[in-house]
Structure 1
Amino acid sequence: MTRDVLAAHRAFYDAIETGDLDLMASLWVDDPGVTCVHPAAPPLHGTETVLRSWAVLMAQIEYIQFFLTDIEITTFPVGADQPSSALVVCTENILSDGETSESFTGGAAICSSLLVRDGRRWRFWSRHASPVAIPDPGEEGS
């Protein structure tokens, strides 16, 4: 069960890394109640708006790679049957293109994603990412 949730979660990052908007669209529930909060941005509502935001973000990035750590999955059954929703919390360690063609930049975000069972598939209902402040060397004692 959690393997299927984890596979859908990983496919989300694969879609971003490869710029595959069709894959991204297949991973979200089509509903006006869907929400997404990008780091330092207001909430977006509705599948169409969320997918448009991902299309814009993916078009602006030449290279991005996610290294996921601290992954925690919690499933929630609605009835006595199999789970119908899952919360995935993780740390996104991000490597992306820098200001020049030969440089890279890094960052980190804490992300929580709510996936729901849509038939036999797990799809995203909500996602919220928040940047992690990474202190500059020498600032830790301040």
Structure 2
Amino acid sequence: MSDSRARKASQAVLLASADDTEASFYEAMQRADLDRMMGVWADDDEIACVHPSGPRVVGPVAVRAGFEAIFVNGPVQVSIHQVRRLESGTAAVHHVIERVQAESPEGTQTAYILATNVYMRTALGWRMVLHHASPGQPHDMQEVAEPATMLH
């Protein structure tokens, strides 16, 4: 077994559920830990990531490069709120609101991100296959339970 596969196999116990994988994803963000970040992703050429206002990047090399560019600035102080889950035996979709805080000369700045995280159960445990994040607003923290009359 290769070192990479052995490392992923040892993480499978830690990633026993989509929730475990999600927690590990956000912990990697908060630590700017690129290896841990890539450990939550499926080993598949079709994984994809969309950062807020960014392009869709596809494949492990592109996903890694995207997070590497983010982590150049250090850890990302992010917390998730209003997690909603749609799950089956082999797939899970979590839509969340991310609250991101960063220090600037003006003080602490807060941004809200609307994110969808998709996970699949693999032979090595639950792995992320998609993270899609869009810019949000503070009012997004207020949840609307019924659909509006306008569709996109």
Normalised-by-shorter TM-score class: 0.7 to 0.9
Per the normalisation by structure 1, the TM-score is 0.80
For the 8 Å contact 1:31–1:46, the answer to whether it is kept is: yes
Note the alpha carbon deviations across 1:29-60, whole angstroms, 9 max, x for none.
12211110000011001011101110110112
Q: Distance in 1 between matches of 2:38 and 2:82?
A: 26
Q: What runs of 5+ residues in structure 2 fail to find an aligned partner?
A: 1-15, 140-152
Q: Which amino acid aligns with 1:40?
A: S
Q: What runs of 5+ residues in structure 1 fail to find an aligned partner?
A: 77-82, 136-142
Structure with the bigger percentage of helix: 2
3-state SS, counterpart of residue 71 of structure 2: helix
TM-fit CA distance, 1:134: 4.2
**How many percent identity over aligned positions?**
22
3-state SS, counterpart of residue 60 of structure 1: coil
Partner of 1:79: none
For the 8 Å contact 1:64–1:97, the answer to whether it is kept is: no
> Is residue 70 of structure 2 the alignment partner of residue 66 of structure 1?
no
What is the aligned residue count? Answer: 124
Q: Distance in 2 between matches of 1:133 and 1:104?
A: 16
Partner of 1:125: 129
- Root-mean-square deviation (Å): 1.7
Choose which of 93, 98, 105 in structure 2 pairs with 1:92. 98
Partner of 2:12: none
> Is residue 29 of structure 2 the alignment partner of residue 25 of structure 1?
no
For the 8 Å contact 2:32–2:76, the answer to whether it is kept is: no
Q: Distance in 2 between matches of 1:89 and 1:43?
A: 18
For the 8 Å contact 2:99–2:112, the answer to whether it is kept is: yes
TM-fit CA distance, 1:99: 3.7
Q: Which amino acid aligns with 2:46?
A: G
Q: Distance in 1 between matches of 2:53 and 2:133?
A: 8
Q: Distance in 1 between matches of 2:72 and 2:84?
A: 30
For the 8 Å contact 2:92–2:120, the answer to whether it is kept is: yes
Q: 107-116 or 65-74: which moved more? A: 65-74
Partner of 1:56: 69
> Deviation above 3 Å: which 4+ runs of structure 1?
none
Per the normalisation by structure 2, the TM-score is 0.75
Q: Distance in 1 between matches of 2:51 and 2:68?
A: 13
3-state SS, counterpart of residue 29 of structure 1: coil
3-state SS, counterpart of residue 104 of structure 1: strand
